[in-house]
Chain A
Amino acid sequence: MKHLKNIRVALAILFFLPIFLYLIDFTGKLPMQMHALLKIQWIPALLSLNLVIIAILVVISLLFGRIYCSTICPLGIFQDISAWKSRFFSKKKKKFRYTYKKPQNILRYSILALTVLIFVFGSSFLVVQLDPYSIFGRIVSQLLRPLALFANNGVAAILSNMDNYSVFKVEQLSFVPVAFVITLFFFVLISIMSWFSGRLYCNTVCPVGTTLGLLSKLSVFRISINESSCNQCGACEKSCKSQCIDSDAMTVDQSRCVSCYNCLSVCKRSGVNYQFGYKKQKAEVSQTPADGSRRTFLLTSGAVISTLAFANAKTLTGQKEDATLTRTPIMPPGAGSIEHFNTKCTGCQLCVDKCPMQVLKPAVLQYGISGIMQPHLNFSTHIFCSFDCNICSSVCPTGALKEMPIEEKKLVQIGVAKFRKDKCIVAVDETDCGACSEHCPTQAVHMVPYKNGLTIPEVIENICIGCGGCESICPAKPYAAIYVEGNKTQIAANKPAEAEKFEKKIDDFGF
């Protein structure tokens, strides 16, 4: 029994380390297939309707409880690390110092109900903000990755001064203040909660934790206290980072137990058991908290309804009326329609991190409130969607971006270039430019005769894929003479016509 904890720790490291390294990797050296580790996360599996993964996760929970929270969820492991580290800073250097706390039922069930309800109403606002895997993704993307890049670039600068180019500079471009602040808020909140109270966040805020808590009430194997051998020493209670063991009452709150098995490893008298406990527990559960749960339910629904009433339904579903945000946001290729994308994307920032062009950025209000953190394309000099690349759609764990072969991606129209002659260098300065056409992979933007031997761009919309090469390089400042208007529904562009082949044989120099 005692080794169960070690197995749990080993498993957690086995999941956490690759996920962490994969998310932070900016060199592209780690295999892209590692995104499989993210597809087995709860919310991504649910959103992508990956029935096999869902079934496996449900079975595991029904058998052993919240194993997911203790081993697979990177945010859970992050909290364990935080809680574990805090020990070295506490005055008494005590290994375990938890005490039993009552569950925050109103809060946790309200949050879960709100998350589900708002999602059903068509906005994934709370799913995006509260999915634990995605929060972890954002912590890496917004807080830790920039530090790694900073270190890398420092090394690169020193080496390049010594004519060594083995480490090269990677530009930091994805900084978006709103995304940073929100991520920092969650980082601080979760760090503090876990530092002082273990898994309090998982058992109070996290909707996945709450759901799994409900599920694990039915689990086959569970922690229980053996009343005959227990001497109420309280060691298990002190070691319980979920603060769900009440050693005085000799009860374990199954809904909050994350199956970490710390209690098993500290009990010296085999007073804590992990065993088949289906029948016995069932009666217990229905017994005590009946009154409480009804009250909780009423309060919960009250909270939910009032929140919904306060929140303008329109804002929640992501429609915006702000005139300054006139451009339709440009979704990554494979997003399908804006409704599909906004519903499925959890803003985990994986595509943002993996985009070799760094053209993807977390949205602020481009998609409305519910789309905060969801990626959109943001063009700037040399930053546009690479024609020969489908990395974003191939790594997306939630199915928000449909995976597709590269030849198909090359025809996905994510937006359409709009040319504004009155701002174009050729018309204004009467000098040649053509930077836009140069960067156009399909030649949807091509140069046509203007005057005095000059040529000016023209757009063939049905072969434009909206990659933004033209907008990114347009030298007209501050507003580009050519820009991409996003498509609300991505469609297939026509295949550009091939040039006429030159068959004649040339065997003269011509000069």
Chain B
Amino acid sequence: MKRRDFFKSAAVVGLASIFKPGTLAASTTAASKISVQTGVDMVAVMGGEPEIMLIKAMKELGGIGKYVKKGQKVVIKPNIGWDKKPEMAANTNPELVGALIKLCKSAGAVEVLVFDHTCQDWQKCYTNSGIKAAVEKAGGKMVPGNDESYYREVQVPKGVQLKTAKIHKAILDCDVWFNVPVLKHHGGAKNSISMKNLMGIVWDRQFFHSNDLHQCIADSATIYKKPALNIVDAYRIMKSNGPQGKTEADAVTLKSLIISPDFVAADTAAMKMFAQVQPTNIADVRYIAMAEKLKVGTQHLDKLNVKRIKL
């Protein structure tokens, strides 16, 4: 099985490099390395509780030990943007964050930091999202993101609009980080998934809004320090009135999880899942195509080895 997968992915990579020379490089060195090693570019799980789905998916991806080595400093970046309870699906599922910390710890991580540059009162967001409690229970540490002094400027050489950005130092100083967004409708960017979640590692978000939001989101996905994995929480998704939602009626429970090292692939898959609930033209989520153009990843899921698991 594994050997077959290996050949398959090798063939895919080979094909991709013939037809779209950019795509290979775009799916990033980390991504291509992983696909060569395990043959799985993406895992999608449906029908379980967050922790069980995560464990199943990580197994398919080759185990947490492939991403987190003993003694490493790990950062997890969920979406904690809003002062809303978990049932609203405005923030990443706290159980998922907790489960991921446990995995990282079991792989020997010395510390697991969790933060977001929130949109509302950060302390209330951390608390009311349930994430602070889950993180502390699992042995992780919440880090504030509310002050400019926590951010350092980095170059974004591949950016079209975004040439420099101030990134949270927790990300810059860690050994490995995981991007853990929640799948949501979004009034401005149309949808918020893994690339949109990067706005929470950046200090000046208004720059994004005033300089072509979609292009800046795509640009931010070209930063040198990429997450090991994008772990898209679709246990509960927000189908309307995003990104903060009005009531629980905006949330839909899908009990799903999509994981991929490829930003573009993860967001494409998540959009296809989202469109089943709220019909959306993926082309309107313009940053996805823009990121593909910047060789961040691929929208062609059929060319990737996608593992689908139903529990």
Instruction: Let me know if B171 is at the binding interface, CB within 8 A.
Output: no
User: Are the C-beta atoms of B209 and A425 separated by less than 8 Å?
Assistant: yes
* A324 shortest CB reach to chain B, Å: 26
User: Are the C-beta atoms of A510 and B83 separated by less than 8 Å?
Assistant: no
Residue of B nearest to A384 (CB): B120
Assuming A157-B149, A433-B213, A509-B46, what are 7 further A-B pairs, CB within 8 angstroms? A356-B124, A431-B211, A442-B246, A475-B209, A499-B241, A502-B252, A506-B277
**Can you sample 19 A-B contacts with CB below 8 Å?**
A165-B142, A168-B144, A387-B83, A429-B210, A432-B286, A434-B189, A434-B209, A438-B188, A438-B244, A447-B187, A453-B284, A473-B206, A500-B249, A504-B277, A509-B44, A509-B269, A509-B273, A510-B273, A511-B268
| A356 / chain B contacts, CB cutoff of 8 Å | 121, 123-124
Instruction: Let me know if B186 is at the binding interface, CB within 8 A.
Output: yes
User: Are the C-beta atoms of A388 and B249 separated by less than 8 Å?
Assistant: no
| B186 / chain A contacts, CB cutoff of 8 Å | 434, 438
User: Are the C-beta atoms of B246 and A443 separated by less than 8 Å?
Assistant: yes
Residue among B123, B190, B277 making CB contact with A502, cutoff 8 Å: B277
User: Are the C-beta atoms of B252 and A386 separated by less than 8 Å?
Assistant: no
* B285 shortest CB reach to chain A, Å: 10
- Interface positions, chain B 287-311, Cβ under 8 Å from A, are 301, 306, 308, 310
- Interface positions, chain A 13-60, Cβ under 8 Å from B, are 28
Instruction: Let me know if A437 is at the binding interface, CB within 8 A.
Output: yes
**Complex alpha-carbon distance, A501 and B252, angstroms:** 8
| B189 / chain A contacts, CB cutoff of 8 Å | 432, 434
- Interface positions, chain B 188-232, Cβ under 8 Å from A, are 188-190, 205-207, 209-215
Instruction: Let me know if B243 is at the binding interface, CB within 8 A.
Output: yes
| A506 / chain B contacts, CB cutoff of 8 Å | 252, 254, 273, 276-277
| A163 / chain B contacts, CB cutoff of 8 Å | 173
* B271 shortest CB reach to chain A, Å: 9
Interface size of B by CB at 8 A reads 62
Residue among A382, A446, A499 making CB contact with B119, cutoff 8 Å: A382
Q: Mark A420-457, 1 if CB is under 8 A from B, else 0.
A: 00000100010111110111011100110000010100
**Complex alpha-carbon distance, A443 and B306, angstroms:** 37
| A501 / chain B contacts, CB cutoff of 8 Å | 249
User: Are the C-beta atoms of B214 and A432 separated by less than 8 Å?
Assistant: yes
| B286 / chain A contacts, CB cutoff of 8 Å | 432, 453
Question: Looking at chain A's contact residues, is the secondary structure mostly helix, strand, loop, or mixed?
Answer: loop
Question: Looking at chain B's contact residues, is the secondary structure mostly helix, strand, loop, or mixed?
Answer: mixed
**Complex alpha-carbon distance, A412 and B205, angstroms:** 29
Residue of B nearest to A432 (CB): B213
| B250 / chain A contacts, CB cutoff of 8 Å | 499
Instruction: Let me know if A494 is at the binding interface, CB within 8 A.
Output: no
| B132 / chain A contacts, CB cutoff of 8 Å | none
User: Are the C-beta atoms of B273 and A498 separated by less than 8 Å?
Assistant: no
Known contacts: A509-B46, A509-B256, A510-B275. The answer to whether A169 contacts B144 by CB under 8 A is yes
Residue of B nearest to A386 (CB): B121
| B38 / chain A contacts, CB cutoff of 8 Å | none
User: Are the C-beta atoms of B246 and A511 separated by less than 8 Å?
Assistant: no
User: Are the C-beta atoms of B213 and A498 separated by less than 8 Å?
Assistant: no
Instruction: Let me know if A496 is at the binding interface, CB within 8 A.
Output: yes
* B268 shortest CB reach to chain A, Å: 7
User: Are the C-beta atoms of B188 and A433 separated by less than 8 Å?
Assistant: yes
Interface size of A by CB at 8 A reads 50
Instruction: Let me know if B240 is at the binding interface, CB within 8 A.
Output: yes
* B81 shortest CB reach to chain A, Å: 9
Residue of A nearest to B301 (CB): A511
Task: Give 7 nearest A-B pairs by CB, closest first.
Answer: A434-B188, A475-B210, A437-B187, A511-B272, A475-B209, A431-B212, A510-B272
Residue among A389, A429, A435, A496 making CB contact with B212, cutoff 8 Å: A429
Q: Mark B260-277, 1 if CB is under 8 A from A, else 0.
A: 000000001100111111
* B211 shortest CB reach to chain A, Å: 8
| A510 / chain B contacts, CB cutoff of 8 Å | 272-276
Instruction: Let me know if B106 is at the binding interface, CB within 8 A.
Output: no
User: Are the C-beta atoms of B149 and A446 separated by less than 8 Å?
Assistant: no
Residue of B nearest to A473 (CB): B206
| B144 / chain A contacts, CB cutoff of 8 Å | 165, 168-169
User: Are the C-beta atoms of B83 and A386 separated by less than 8 Å?
Assistant: yes
Instruction: Let me know if A160 is at the binding interface, CB within 8 A.
Output: yes
Instruction: Let me know if B55 is at the binding interface, CB within 8 A.
Output: no
* B302 shortest CB reach to chain A, Å: 9
User: Are the C-beta atoms of B244 and A447 separated by less than 8 Å?
Assistant: no
Q: Mark A175-200, 1 if CB is under 8 A from B, else 0.
A: 00000000000000000000000000
User: Are the C-beta atoms of A435 and B147 separated by less than 8 Å?
Assistant: no
Instruction: Let me know if B155 is at the binding interface, CB within 8 A.
Output: no
- Interface positions, chain A 338-363, Cβ under 8 Å from B, are 356-357
Instruction: Let me know if A279 is at the binding interface, CB within 8 A.
Output: no
Instruction: Let me know if B105 is at the binding interface, CB within 8 A.
Output: no
* A27 shortest CB reach to chain B, Å: 10
User: Are the C-beta atoms of A431 and B213 separated by less than 8 Å?
Assistant: yes
Residue among B44, B120, B173, B306 making CB contact with A386, cutoff 8 Å: B120
Instruction: Let me know if A293 is at the binding interface, CB within 8 A.
Output: no
Residue among A382, A432, A433, A499 making CB contact with B247, cutoff 8 Å: A499
| B301 / chain A contacts, CB cutoff of 8 Å | 511
User: Are the C-beta atoms of A499 and B187 separated by less than 8 Å?
Assistant: no
| B308 / chain A contacts, CB cutoff of 8 Å | 509
Residue among A388, A438, A504, A507 making CB contact with B243, cutoff 8 Å: A438
Residue among B173, B272, B278 making CB contact with A509, cutoff 8 Å: B272
* A358 shortest CB reach to chain B, Å: 10
Residue of B nearest to A425 (CB): B210
Output the residue of B119, B123, B188, B207 with the most chain A CB within 10 A.
Answer: B188
**Complex alpha-carbon distance, A306 and B306, angstroms:** 87
**Complex alpha-carbon distance, A388 and B269, angstroms:** 34
Residue of A nearest to B144 (CB): A168
Instruction: Let me know if A476 is at the binding interface, CB within 8 A.
Output: yes
